[in-house]
A and B are shown apart, each in its own frame.
Chain A
Amino acid sequence: MKVILLKYNAGNIQSVSYALERLGADFEITDNVEKILSADKVIFPGVGEASTTMASLKSKKLDQVIRNLKQPVLGICLGMQLMCKHSEENNTACLGIFDEVVKKFEASKEFKVPHMGWNNLILTNSWPEKTLENSSVYFVHSYYVPVNQFTTAVSDYIVPFSAAMKKDNFYAVQFHPEKSAQAGEQILKSFLDI
Chain B
Amino acid sequence: MLTKRIIPCLDIKDGRTVKGVNFVDLRDAGDPVELASAYAEQGADELVFLDISATQEQRKTFASLVKDIARHINIPFTVGGGISSVEDVAPLLEAGADKVSINSSAVRNPQLINELSKAFGAQCIVLAIDVRKIDNTWIVHTHGGKNPTDKKLFTWAKEGQDRGAGEILFTSMDHDGTKNGFAIDPLSKLHELLTIPIIASGGAGSMGHFADVFAFAKADAALAASVFHFGEISIPELKEFLKNHNIPVRL
Contacts and interface: CB of A to CB of B under 8 A. Distances in A.
Do A and B truly interact? yes
Interface of A: 11, 14-15, 18-19, 21-22, 47-49, 107-109, 112-120, 136, 138, 140-142, 156-157, 176, 178-182, 184-185
Contacts of A107: 195-196
Counting contact residues on chain B (CB < 8 A from A), the size range is: 35 or more
A132 to B, nearest CB: 14
A23 to B, nearest CB: 10
Interface string B66-107: 000011001110000000000000000111101000000000
Contact of A116 (B75, B194, B220): B220
Given A11-B120, A118-B45, A179-B98, A112 B74 contact: no
A114 B74 CA distance: 21
Contact of B75 (A48, A120, A138, A142): A138
B96 A118 contact: no
A116 B196 CA distance: 9
The 7 closest A-B pairs by CB, nearest first: A107-B195, A136-B250, A118-B250, A112-B197, A14-B96, A179-B76, A140-B123
B152 interface: no
Contacts of A156: 1
Main secondary structure of the interface of A (DSSP, over half): mixed
Interface of B: 1-5, 40, 45, 70-71, 74-76, 93-96, 98, 120-124, 166-167, 191-198, 220-221, 250
B250 A22 contact: no
B195 A181 contact: no
A116 B197 contact: yes
A182 B3 CA distance: 17
A136 B95 contact: no
Given A47-B121, A112-B195, A112-B197, A119 B2 contact: yes
Contact of B5 (A22, A49, A118): A118
14 contacts: A11-B120, A11-B121, A14-B95, A15-B70, A15-B96, A47-B123, A47-B124, A112-B197, A116-B123, A117-B4, A120-B1, A140-B123, A141-B123, A181-B40
A122 B70 CA distance: 29
A179 B75 contact: yes
A47 B94 CA distance: 12
A115 B2 contact: yes
